[in-house]
């Protein structure tokens, strides 16, 4: 069975500092990995994905994530945080387009001016 | 480009009432799914479908029914609402297969309160 762990419920970072939101996964097979962001009272917006190829993937709004197979991790990063990045972030995994997308419990990011 | 459309956006039900949450997508996606979001629980899968006429249960299917008669629509039915079904419900769709474009697109959600 697939599972995703986001070990931090809350991450606080000062504006302009780098940010990292952690994600580890467990899956039998090659994972498709995703990050989504949710702003208050909104649906989930796709940020970036890893399917295959280069372990460092770049996505929307300056975010990037690094796939690490040996550590089964897919941490979300941004070099310089903005107050507008404050939101709820979800990591998710699936094995293919035919299988369910399994989410972590989410990490609330707060960027302080 | 509408994407995934959910209706209604808000709903209050009395315990025991039934209702249908509507979900429609215009991207010709074969895969559709329903999630519920509760504080501290993330998104939990209720039901999903890999194409018209095919549905399957997710992690928390009890108390919910689905059907998939067309590619575009995937309604979620609450048979007899209970306070434990108070939640925010999200519908999502995506392409199927072992392709690169497997990210899911989400609707704006339905906030349901059962009193």
The per-residue pLDDT for B98 is 65
B6 to chain A: nearest residue by CA? Answer: A43
- The count of structural domains within chain A is 1
With CB atoms and an 8 Å threshold, state whether B96 touches A98.
Answer: yes
Domain span at residue A12 reads 3-112
User: Does the pLDDT value for residue B48 go beyond 90?
Assistant: yes
Domain with A57 in it: what CATH number? Answer: 2.60.40.10
Mean pLDDT within B17-46: 95
pLDDT more than 90, % of chain B: 87
Query: Nearest Cβ partner of A100 from B58, B95, B97?
Result: B58
Query: Nearest Cβ partner of A105 from B40, B94, B107?
Result: B40
Q: What string of DSSP letters covers A59-105? A: -GGG-EEEEETTTTEEEEEESS--GGG-EEEEEEEESSTTS--EE--
Element at A25 (helix H, strand E): strand A24-26
Give the pLDDT confidence of A90-107 residue by residue, as tens digits: 999 988 778 889 999 999
């Amino acid at each position: 069975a697939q599972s995703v762990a986001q070990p931090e419920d809350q991450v606080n970072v000062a504006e302009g500092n780098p940010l990292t939101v952690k994600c580890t996964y467990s899956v039998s097979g090659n994972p498709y990995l995703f990050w989504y962001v949710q702003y208050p009272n909104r649906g989930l917006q796709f940020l970036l994905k890893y399917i295959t190829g280069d372990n460092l993937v770049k996505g929307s709004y300056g975010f990037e994530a690094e796939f690490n197979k040996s550590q089964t991790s897919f941490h979300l990063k941004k070099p310089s945080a903005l107050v507008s990045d404050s939101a709820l972030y979800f990591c998710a995994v699936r094995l293919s387009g035919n299988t369910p997308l399994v989410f972590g419990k989410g990490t609330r990011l707060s960027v302080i001016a | 480009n509408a994407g995934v459309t959910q209706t209604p956006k808000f709903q209050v039900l009395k315990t025991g009432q039934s209702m249908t949450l509507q979900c429609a997508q215009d991207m010709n996606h074969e895969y559709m799914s329903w999630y519920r979001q509760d504080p501290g629980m993330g998104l939990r899968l209720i039901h999903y479908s890999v194409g018209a006429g095919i549905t399957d249960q997710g992690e928390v299917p009890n108390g919910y029914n689905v059907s998939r008669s067309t590619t575009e629509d995937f309604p979620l039915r609450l048979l007899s609402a209970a306070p434990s079904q108070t939640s925010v419900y999200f519908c999502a769709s995506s392409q199927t297969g072992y392709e690169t474009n497997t990210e899911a697109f989400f609707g704006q959600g339905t906030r349901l309160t059962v009193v």
